[in-house]
């Protein structure tokens, strides 16, 4: 009875179309992955890092053909079941199918060879860090109903400011603080324009991105490239291993052997979730984002809440910008953020404006980024330009709404007149 009720709640056309799409995906998986395999062929996935202190585990070896058949059958079964009965959660459906497809691709690409699975997952978290920080900036801003698409520009300015300061002061920590403060200043400018003067929030964000790209590129070509030893040579934060936790197999190397900025990102995710959902400040923030007039009637200062949240978001984006230089390469290059701020906004939407959801979504984008690098190392017969598109293809899939409907705060992007 429950299954019948569920199938009636999902429009039959949409259910059948989605089921057919899944069947097609299963067919394509069998067509593309199975012909290149041989009987008895195996794929080996390493579960250890040579530089890690974690307890060693034996490598995971899988039979290629059997594993591919199982994954294809799972996708086909999901498609047929969805056509017949319907699956309520499109996110869960997408997650299972995406896992099967990625697993099949990895097994096919690694056939007859070995791949460090833990190395790729560790790289995924590292590459997800700036995306997650950008997404968290978007979450805290838009929960207060202020859209900030200038995150990319904030990160660019923070990246350059932090590396120059760290190079001149010979202190990574001072550089990090300057990067965070520069993000706060740019976000304060955005908040002032859109709250005080009611400037269109999209226009203000675009202006920040254009200004940041032009300014940082000019300063880089004019000064940083010619005086790189003095202005553009900061070094990076060292890897910090958490005692005991870093020795846990699989989890230890991924989460507990990272640099300072990665740890700060994970702490911010937890703190922001607690603040938003379990404190009076978070309740007021969400009230301002959903119904500012009602919040104002109850005595909440709508303008103050929006100012503070946007500036805090700018500080988080500034931390994300500092990651590119102080946490990754130790120098600034023009437009080095490479669209991570925009991908962060997609992760925010995919995560439904929730800190934990945004973090999880960022891991997916980070995995896509790490995957294309590993596939180039394995010399998979796919052009590197197509592999490099992987993170952006995932972004477009998310933004087209194929993974379910995302519901923003009701007053998101709307100026408030007291």
In this predicted structure, what is the pLDDT of residue 399? 61
Q: What is the pLDDT of residues 45-62, one digit of tens each?
A: 999 888 887 888 999 999
Which neighbouring-strand residues pair with 43?
A: 62, 111
Q: Two tokens at 284?
A: 């007021």
| Half-sphere exposure in the Cβ direction for 290 (13 Å, CA) | 10
In this predicted structure, what is the pLDDT of residue 390? 66
**In Å, what is the CA distance from 158 to each residue of 78, 142, 213, 312, 317?**
45, 21, 12, 14, 8
Rounded Cα distance, 45 and 119, in Å: 10
- Report the sign of the C-alpha dihedral through residues 106, 111, 116, 117, in that order: positive
Q: Choose among 185, 197, 175, 178: nearest CA to 153.
A: 185
Q: What is the pLDDT of residues 209-259, one digit of tens each?
A: 999 999 999 999 999 988 988 999 999 999 999 999 999 999 999 999 999
Rounded Cα distance, 142 and 345, in Å: 10
User: Does residue 107 carry a pLDDT above 60?
Assistant: yes
Q: What is the pLDDT of residues 230-241, one digit of tens each?
A: 999 999 999 999
Q: Choose among 3, 344, 386: nearest CA to 140.
A: 344
Average pLDDT over residues 402-408: 67
| Ranges 4-18, 171-185, 351-365: which has the least confidence | 4-18
| Ranges 134-143, 216-225, 364-373: which has the least confidence | 364-373
In this predicted structure, what is the pLDDT of residue 8? 44
Q: Supply the pTM of this predicted model.
A: 0.91
Task: Check if the beta carbon of residue 165 is closer than 8 Å to that of residue 175.
Answer: yes
Domains (range + CATH), the chain: 2-112 (no CATH), 118-399 (1.10.3470)
Task: Check if the beta carbon of residue 145 is closer than 8 Å to that of residue 409.
Answer: yes
Mean residue pLDDT of the chain comes to 90
Rounded Cα distance, 60 and 262, in Å: 28
In this predicted structure, what is the pLDDT of residue 2? 45
Which of 377 and 112 is assigned the larger pLDDT? 112
The backbone torsions φ and ψ at residue 184, rounded to the nearest 5 degrees and listed phi first, read -65, -40
Percent of the chain with pLDDT over 70: 92
């Amino acid at each position: 009875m429950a299954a019948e009720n569920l199938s009636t709640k999902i429009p039959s056309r949409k259910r059948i179309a989605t089921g057919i799409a899944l069947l097609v995906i299963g067919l394509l998986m069998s067509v593309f992955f199975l012909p290149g395999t041989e009987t008895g062929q195996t794929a080996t996935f390493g579960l250890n890092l040579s530089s890690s202190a974690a307890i060693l585990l034996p490598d995971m070896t899988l039979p290629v053909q059997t594993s591919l058949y199982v994954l294809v059958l799972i996708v086909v079964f999901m498609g047929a079941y969805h056509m017949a009965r319907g699956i309520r959660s499109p996110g869960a459906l997408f997650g299972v199918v995406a896992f099967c497809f990625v697993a099949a691709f990895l097994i096919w690409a690694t056939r007859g060879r070995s791949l460090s699975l833990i190395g790729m997952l560790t790289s995924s978290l590292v590459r997800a860090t700036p995306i997650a920080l950008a997404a968290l900036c978007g979450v805290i801003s838009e929960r207060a109903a202020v859209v900030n698409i200038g995150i990319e520009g904030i990160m660019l300015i923070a990246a350059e400011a932090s590396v120059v300061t760290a190079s001149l002061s010979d202190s990574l920590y001072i550089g990090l603080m300057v990067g965070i403060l520069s993000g706060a200043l740019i976000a304060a400018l955005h908040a002032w324009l859109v709250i005080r003067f009611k400037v269109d929030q999209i226009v203000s964000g675009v202006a920040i991105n254009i200004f940041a790209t032009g300014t940082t590129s000019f300063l880089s070509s004019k000064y940083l490239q010619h005086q790189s030893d003095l202005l553009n040579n900061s070094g990076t934060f060292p890897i910090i291993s958490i005692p005991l936790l870093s020795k846990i197999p699989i989890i230890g190397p991924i989460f507990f052997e990272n640099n300072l900025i990665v740890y700060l990102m994970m702490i911010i995710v937890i703190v922001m979730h607690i603040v938003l959902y379990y404190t009076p400040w978070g309740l007021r923030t969400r009230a301002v984002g959903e119904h500012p007039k009602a919040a104002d009637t109850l005595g909440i200062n709508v303008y103050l809440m929006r100012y503070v949240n946007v500036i805090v978001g700018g500080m988080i984006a500034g931390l994300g910008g500092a990651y590119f230089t102080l946490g990754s390469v130790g120098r600034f290059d023009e437009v080095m953020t490479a669209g991570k701020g925009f991908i962060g906004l997609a992760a925010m939407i995919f995560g439904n404006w929730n800190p934990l959801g945004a973090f999880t979504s960022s891991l997916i984008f980070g995995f896509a980024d790490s995957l294309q690098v590993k596939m180039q190392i394995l010399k998979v017969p796919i052009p590197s330009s197509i592999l490099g598109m992987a993170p952006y293809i995932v972004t477009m899939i998310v933004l087209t709404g194929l993974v379910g409907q995302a519901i923003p705060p009701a007053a998101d992007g709307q100026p408030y007149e007291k």
